[in-house]
Amino acid sequence: MRVLGIDPGSETLGWGVVEGTGTKYSLVDFGTVRSSPRVAFSKRILKAYEGVAAVIDRFEPDAMSIEEAFYAVNVGVAMKLGQIRGAMLLLAEQKGLEIAEYSPRLIKQTVVGYGNAEKHQVQEMVRLLLGLKNIPEPHDAADALAIAICHFHHSGLTAKLKAQARRSK
């Protein structure tokens, strides 16, 4: 399975592609889609959409895992993140990808073992889990890789639960 992790952002959207099975996985590639805050927000959404569409076309993932919306102190920021997330969910549906959403706390708990982990702790664990020489930077890309890794750890359980439910019917 090949998973595209997305850390949504209107100025810097992180993406990371990881492939493997179960809890054995390896890095394919990672990066960011950057937009200037001086550009109209609608153009930033378009740039994120087109940038991630190019990543999907290049790496042909089977699934997209994305960070769930979370409460932010600044309502405007939360709304913009929601709009970026919506564009990414639409894109995944259009491309026929399986979609999984994970809370920031679950992602950190899965990758670091602590739901309140800090950015540098997530980056270091992503480096270790993927066997990289250097910490993936910027942190937006490392977060996207963590989201993809989280999917590997949780998708197997979800598949087993669905299979069990089908068998019991």
Which listed residue (118, 137, 140, 143) is catalytic? Answer: 140
| Token output for 155 | 């998708």
Q: Are 137 and 10 in contact (CB under 8 A)?
A: no
HSE of 30, CA atoms in CB hemisphere, 13 A:
30
Task: State how far the Cα of 17 lies from the Cα of 166, in Å rounded to an integer.
Answer: 30
Told to judge if 29 belongs to the known catalytic residues of this protein, a careful annotator would answer no
Told to judge if 11 belongs to the known catalytic residues of this protein, a careful annotator would answer no
Q: Going along 35-129, which residue ranges are E strands?
A: 63-67, 98-102
Task: State how far the Cα of 60 lies from the Cα of 53, in Å rounded to an integer.
Answer: 10
Active site residues per annotation: 7, 67, 140
